[in-house]
Amino acid sequence: MQEIVRAKNLTVSLGGKTVLEDITFSIFSGEMTGVIGPNGAGKTTLLRAVLGLVSVQQGSLAVFGKRGIRIKEIRPRTGYMPQRHYFDRRFLLSAADVVSTGLLSPRTLFKKIPRKNEQVKDALRLAGMENFFHQPFQNLSGGEQQRVLLARALARRPDLLLLDEPNNGLDFPAQQSFVALLRKLKDKENIAIIMVSHDLVSIAPAVDKLLCINRTMHVHGDPAEVLRSPHLDEAYRCQFDFLTTGGSTERWWH
């Protein structure tokens, strides 16, 4: 497996405040890593650091073997699905229109993109939405919209896919369906996936590794070991229990 991301003693500060401190991990091709932690733990900042959108103050961070990352250098090989998407309801965009925005860059903004339709169709196919090419985006269900937005992140056929709370607003069956699609993608396409989530129930059984942070790294490794770790309590600063039966994990908060 190829090492896609390597962080060693990573520290990131924003506005003079330390947001991430002493974070160390590696992510490889064909591997899905879940990033968990309470609100305000720095999970989104970690994704932004991997994208080269925020600077590293201490330690090192390499993506595709490059340090001192700038987004323009890794953009062709990286797909990103941010936590919030805004599409003006006054404009009736089709699913294909939304996906095609994933092909835009400063260099292509005012140019015709070669093979654009083929790339959009391919991305929709990867997300299981090939039959929705002409469907209005606003008319789709929440789960369907998330798959179209996933297709948008896949439009460049990336080697690294970053997802920030992709299951927000979805019911549990839709969450399970979405995560199953991600597993199929990473196995078939050999993509490295980093998925931020606050929901351990949907993410823990699906990922290859769990990385739990709350400013600093509290525990990182095999999901089953992470769920049993006392360091999870430290990260969330509250008590919870896990019951594993038949390979599924359920959570009760006290």
Mean pLDDT of the chain: 83
Q: Which residues pair with 193 in a beta bridge?
A: 32, 161
Q: What is the pLDDT of residue 96?
A: 94
pTM comes to: 0.84
Q: Tens of pLDDT along 90-147?
A: 668 899 999 998 988 655 544 555 457 899 999 999 999 999 999 999 999 989 999 9
Q: What is the pLDDT of residue 64?
A: 94
Q: What is the pLDDT of residue 20?
A: 95
- Residue pair 37/212 in contact (Cβ under 8 Å)? The answer is yes
CATH topology for 3-87+157-253 is Rossmann fold (3.40.50)
Q: Tens of pLDDT along 28-79?
A: 999 999 998 888 889 999 999 999 999 999 999 999 998 877 767 888 899 9
CA angle (166 as vertex; 72, 218 as ends), nearest 5: 85
- pLDDT for residue 238 is more than 80: no
- pLDDT for residue 223 is more than 90: no
- Residue pair 74/113 in contact (Cβ under 8 Å)? The answer is no
- pLDDT for residue 181 is more than 60: yes
Confidence of residue 249 (pLDDT cuts 50, 70, 90): very low
**Structural domain spans, the chain:** 3-87+157-253
- pLDDT for residue 192 is more than 60: yes
Structure token digits, residue 94: 């089709």
Q: Which residue has the higher pLDDT, 120 or 235?
A: 120
Q: What is the pLDDT of residue 124?
A: 96
Q: What is the pLDDT of residue 88?
A: 61
List helix spans (H) across the chain. 43-50, 71-74, 95-100, 116-126, 142-154, 172-189, 200-203, 223-228, 231-236
Residue carrying the six token digits 């924003």: 14
Q: Which residue has the higher pLDDT, 228 or 206?
A: 206
Using CA atoms, how far apart are residues 147 and 128, in angstroms rounded to an integer? Answer: 7
- pLDDT for residue 250 is more than 80: no
Q: What is the pLDDT of residue 199?
A: 75
Q: Which residues of 58-82 are buried (b: 16+ CB within 10 A; e: fewer)?
A: ebebbbbeeeebeeeebbeebbbbb
Q: What is the pLDDT of residue 38?
A: 85
Confidence of residue 86 (pLDDT cuts 50, 70, 90): low
